[in-house]
């Protein structure tokens, strides 16, 4: 009986189990990770305050490792992951590690009775990280800034791929049924690369209107994906023609949302 009570007490005082150490929130374009650190009273000469400082440092290092590990698994485009890109480019690897090291602590650290610490951190996929990782097609100049859309014209492109197996990626492509590219990383201007990246993801249009209001704008143009090929989306020739008949400056700005279950 006494043993059962002690086990229950230990479980109550121990850090809560984590379902995962890192994940990607594609709707908000954020890598979210947890780091944990244990207190070492022996190294701290028995001083709990010093041991807790050490635990906090360890938690930050653990969060950095987890964020880098999670980021390595992120798809850049069809067939290419961040990990593969970093392994083949030492300069890019150093730059990305430096950006991830600047993570933001989300919420308050969790302190436990044994001196252990857990912290939740966030690394935005947009901004400098997006600019570093998005591919630059060889021989293709950055997209020129196009005129603003006509008054009352579309403010964004929404591709509805619900019900199909979509692999979220930093640089998805939209093509028509003949293989002609309608949208991809080469479409983005420099501001689009840094700010919004390739696209954002949402489970439905209502959620996109709520969470991605700035990206979506007031008048999204919604088209249906006739099929999905990994991270790339295929739309009908008719919808591609509709987009091509516009002056879609919003594409250069990365104002693209993909609806995926």
Q: 178-197 burial, b if ≥16 CB within 10 A, otherwise e?
A: eeeebbbbbbbbeebbbbbb
Contact 129, 96 (CB under 8 A): yes
Condensed to tens digits (0 to 9), the pLDDT of residues 120-139 reads: 999 999 889 988 998 876 64
Of 135, 7, 25, 138, give the one whose Cα is nearest residue 71: 25
pLDDT of 17-57, one tens digit each? Answer: 443 589 999 988 999 999 999 887 665 556 667 777 888 99
Burial of 34 (0-12, 13-18, 19+ CB in 10 A): buried
What's the whole-model pTM score? 0.79
The domain ranges of the chain are 20-132, 135-259
Distance CA 4, CA 10 (A): 10
Q: What is the pLDDT of residue 237?
A: 96
**Ranges 91-95, 139-143, 226-230: which has the least confidence:** 139-143
Task: Decide which of 189 and 234 is more confident.
Answer: 234
Q: Which of 171, 183, 154, 159 is nearest to 247 (CA)?
A: 154
66 HSE (CA, 13 A, CB side): 26
What spatial distance separates the first Cα and last Cα of the chain, rounded to whole Å? 48
């Amino acid at each position: 009986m006494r043993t059962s009570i002690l086990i229950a007490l230990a479980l109550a005082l121990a850090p809560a189990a984590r379902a995962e150490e890192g994940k990607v929130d594609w709707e908000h374009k954020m890598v979210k990770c947890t780091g944990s650190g244990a207190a070492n009273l022996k190294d701290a000469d028995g001083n709990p305050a010093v041991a807790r400082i050490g635990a906090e440092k360890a938690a930050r290092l653990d969060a950095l490792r987890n964020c880098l590990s999670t980021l390595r698994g992120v798809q850049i485009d069809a067939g290419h992951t961040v990990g593969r890109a970093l392994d083949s480019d030492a300069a890019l690897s150093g730059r990305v590690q430096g950006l991830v090291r600047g993570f933001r602590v989300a919420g308050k650290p969790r302190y436990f009775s044994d001196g252990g610490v857990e912290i939740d951190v966030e690394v935005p996929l947009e901004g400098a990280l997006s600019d570093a990782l998005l591919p630059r097609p060889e021989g293709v100049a950055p997209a020129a800034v196009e005129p603003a859309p006509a008054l009352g014209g579309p403010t964004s492109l929404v591709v509805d791929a619900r019900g199909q197996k979509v692999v979220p990626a930093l640089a998805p492509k939209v093509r028509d049924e003949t293989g002609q590219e309608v949208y991809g990383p080469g479409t983005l201007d420099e501001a689009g690369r840094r700010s919004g990246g390739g696209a954002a993801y949402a489970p439905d249009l209502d959620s996109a209107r709520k969470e991605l209001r700035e990206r979506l704008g007031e008048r999204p143009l919604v088209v249906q994906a006739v099929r999905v090929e990994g991270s790339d989306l295929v739309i009908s020739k008719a919808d591609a023609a509709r987009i091509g008949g516009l002056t879609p400056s919003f594409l250069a700005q990365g104002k693209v949302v993909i609806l995926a279950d």
